Amino acid sequence: MTDKRIAQQHHATFEEVRQFDEDGNEFWSARNIAPLLEYQDWRNFMQVVDKARLACEQSGRPVADHFGDVTKMVGIGSGAQRPVPDVHLSRYACYLIVQNGDPAKPVIANGQTYFAMQTRRQELADDKKFTQLSEDEKRLAIRNELATHNKHLAAAAKDAGVESSLDYAIFQDHGYKGLYGGLGNKEIHARKGLTKSQKILDHMGSTELAANLFRATQTEEKLRRDGVRGKQKANQTHFEVGRKVRQTIDELGGTMPENLPKPESSIQQIESAKKKLAKKKAEK
């Protein structure tokens, strides 16, 4: 079976064990997730869950909203049952669990990609204000968020040993090559018909920007979580994350980023038009 088929099978299985409470809220049972992530020992899995709870708390989110301790009845033969502890997990909780799981397990790697992408998609879907924005407004919002996360990524890369401007340019190129099927900054520039001074991020639609935002956030997190040290390892990490994002886009039936259309206006043109409109309103 190919890696893509295995990933699709894992993704389908994660969806199959999803449940809904009386109010229609989705959740996953820790008892169901543990064996899917190849944790046969409940105590070992609970150590991962506890790490995820801590990560949730440190992120500033209410732990109780994502980890619900419950008691579940299980059969022990001859129709008898006994109570066992369980945890009802939100999609975000599952994401944190796989992020703290054993990365050597293929199912964990697939789970990391699945829950991270799905969590991000859910966040955007839940944000009614975002969904009501026009395409240009979405581009501005994601581009501004990406600018912030690129600073965090640069800091994480520096901690890993990516120090000079040239080092960072090479590091960034590895991320692009992973996401764009081997195309680096220079090739993407040429494909979009941009001049040397124009930034490729300013000439992307919201879908392409979102893919790059995901690449940046996940690379930063992986560099820090895995304690990556050395320029070569940092470059390889960025490439692998970019490639994994590309693989997930393919699995979800999306368009590859290099094949997405180039918007007619740049981010600068959108910002300029926005300022002019604001000025006109102020003058009235």
CB-side neighbour CA atoms (13 Å) of 190: 5
Please check whether residues 160 and 233 belong to one and the same domain. yes
In the predicted structure, residue 263 carries a pLDDT above the cut 60: yes
pLDDT computed for residue 224 by the predictor: 86
Please check whether residues 142 and 252 belong to one and the same domain. yes
In the predicted structure, residue 119 carries a pLDDT above the cut 80: no
CA dist 203 and 139 (Å) reads 9
Q: What would the mean pLDDT of 88-102 be, rounded to a whole number? A: 84
SS3 assignment, position 76: strand
Q: What would the mean pLDDT of 15-34 be, rounded to a whole number? A: 87
Q: What would the mean pLDDT of 167-177 be, rounded to a whole number? A: 97
CA dist 259 and 137 (Å) reads 22
In the predicted structure, residue 127 carries a pLDDT above the cut 60: no
Considering the domain boundaries, does residue 218 fall inside one? Answer: yes
Boundary-marking domain end, from 38, 69, 96: 96
Q: Are strands 19-20 and 26-29 parallel, antiparallel or unpaired?
A: antiparallel
pLDDT computed for residue 74 by the predictor: 73
CA dist 44 and 66 (Å) reads 20
pLDDT computed for residue 4 by the predictor: 46
| Confidence band for 124, pLDDT divided at 50, 70 and 90 | low
CA dist 268 and 202 (Å) reads 7
The mean of the pLDDT values for the chain is: 84
pLDDT computed for residue 60 by the predictor: 77
pLDDT computed for residue 27 by the predictor: 92
Both tokens assigned to 222:
């992986």
The residues, any chain, with a CB within 8 Å of residue 189's CB and separated by 6 or more, are 196, 198, 200
Both tokens assigned to 97:
């669990």
pLDDT computed for residue 194 by the predictor: 93
Please check whether residues 156 and 54 belong to one and the same domain. no
Q: How many residues belong to the chain?
A: 284
Residue 237 near residue 220, CB atoms below 8 Å: no
State the residue range of the domain holding 67: 3-96
Q: What would the mean pLDDT of 189-213 be, rounded to a whole number? A: 93
Considering the domain boundaries, does residue 238 fall inside one? Answer: yes
pLDDT computed for residue 1 by the predictor: 40
Q: How many domains does the chain have?
A: 2
Lowest mean pLDDT among 19-33, 85-99, 100-114: 100-114
| Confidence band for 207, pLDDT divided at 50, 70 and 90 | very high
pLDDT digits (tens, 9 = 90+) for 215-250: 998 898 889 888 999 999 999 999 999 999 998 888
Percentage of residues of the chain with pLDDT beyond 90: 43
Residue 239 near residue 232, CB atoms below 8 Å: no
| Confidence band for 148, pLDDT divided at 50, 70 and 90 | confident
| Confidence band for 180, pLDDT divided at 50, 70 and 90 | very high
The residues, any chain, with a CB within 8 Å of residue 10's CB and separated by 6 or more, are 36, 107, 110, 111, 114
SS3 assignment, position 47: helix
**In what helix (H) or strand (E) does residue 124 lie, and over which residues does it extend?**
helix 106-126
Selection from 172, 115, 167, 131 nearest residue 149 by Cα: 172
| Confidence band for 133, pLDDT divided at 50, 70 and 90 | confident
Both tokens assigned to 118:
């799905």
Q: What would the mean pLDDT of 199-210 be, rounded to a whole number? A: 94
Percentage of residues of the chain with pLDDT beyond 70: 84
Please check whether residues 236 and 154 belong to one and the same domain. yes
Both tokens assigned to 46:
């609970």
Considering the domain boundaries, does residue 91 fall inside one? Answer: yes
pLDDT computed for residue 10 by the predictor: 44
CA dist 217 and 95 (Å) reads 14
Selection from 222, 147, 120, 136 nearest residue 178 by Cα: 222
Considering the domain boundaries, does residue 121 fall inside one? Answer: no
Please check whether residues 166 and 253 belong to one and the same domain. yes
CB-side neighbour CA atoms (13 Å) of 160: 30
The residues, any chain, with a CB within 8 Å of residue 95's CB and separated by 6 or more, are 112, 115, 116, 118, 119
Considering the domain boundaries, does residue 280 fall inside one? Answer: no
pLDDT computed for residue 36 by the predictor: 84
Point out which residues pair with 70 in neighbouring strands: 86
| Confidence band for 264, pLDDT divided at 50, 70 and 90 | very high
Q: What would the mean pLDDT of 54-80 be, rounded to a whole number? A: 83
DSSP class per residue in 263-276: PSS-HHHHHHHHHH
Point out which residues pair with 283 in neighbouring strands: none
pLDDT computed for residue 255 by the predictor: 93
Please check whether residues 80 and 139 belong to one and the same domain. no
